[in-house]
Amino acid sequence: LLFLAMELLEGKSLREKLHTDGPLALDEALRVLEEIAMSLTEAHRLGIVHRDIKPENILAGPYGEVLLMDWGLAKVWHPDGSSAPDEERKRSKIMDLSLTSQGKVQGTPHYMSPEQINQDTAIDHRTDIYSLGVVLYEILCGETPSKGEKLHHIIQSTLNDVPVPPSQLTTQRVPRVLEEVALRCLQKQPADRYASIAELLHLLQGNWRTELSRTTKIPATK
């Protein structure tokens, strides 16, 4: 018999934690995000871009382990700097709110960077920085920066709207440093974001905690 042995993964996604566990300590949520940033640092060093970072793909295990799941949309660069063939370069339309099939725009619209939406063939690691910024933004205020109930509204919001600072959308105290990090990640032009995940990770591990008491909670998302 042929069989495939796979690791049994247990725990909850960050989405489940935000929905079902109620408010999370900001320390706890940022620890998860730091682990994901470390994973991406290594992936980017190897020439791999995830392209589908979202709370549903972040697993927090029962013993403190954190895993970035679903690398099915990853883009890989060859050692010579060229990229591997990429099916989503084909002309296509976005058909629903969570697209993973070949021949369509890849990703989940609320977390997709402008260059993902535009199917930019020069897309690189900075699209992951944008998506991680969306997750951070949602952690801080309970909402994603792109607004709209319909798909075309979300797309237009991502492409054109300047995100409202998280501190204006919640009654919880938002560390200024983290707000600035999130907004920098969400810049429309890749060149205006952080140059690397390592630079972003350094800020996430900084002294922002001095701005808050350790009991501060982040809001549960709807």
| Residues annotated as catalytic (active site), given as ranges | 52
Report which of 202, 182, 87 is spatially closest to residue 138, judged by C-alpha positions. Answer: 182
| Non-local CB neighbours of 202 within 8 Å, separated by 6+ positions | none
Write the DSSP string, 51-78: ----GGGEEE-TTS-EEE---TT-EEB-
Burial 136-156 (b: 16+ CB within 10 A, else e): bbbbbbbbbbbebeeeeebbe
Strand partners, 24: 218
Classify 25 as helix, strand or coil.
strand
d(Cα 152, Cα 109) in Å, to the nearest integer? 10
Q: With contact defined as beta carbons under 8 Å apart, do 56 and 134 qualify?
A: no
Q: Round to whole Å and give the CA distance between 136 and 166.
A: 10
The closest of 113, 202, 103 to 159, measured between CA atoms, is: 113
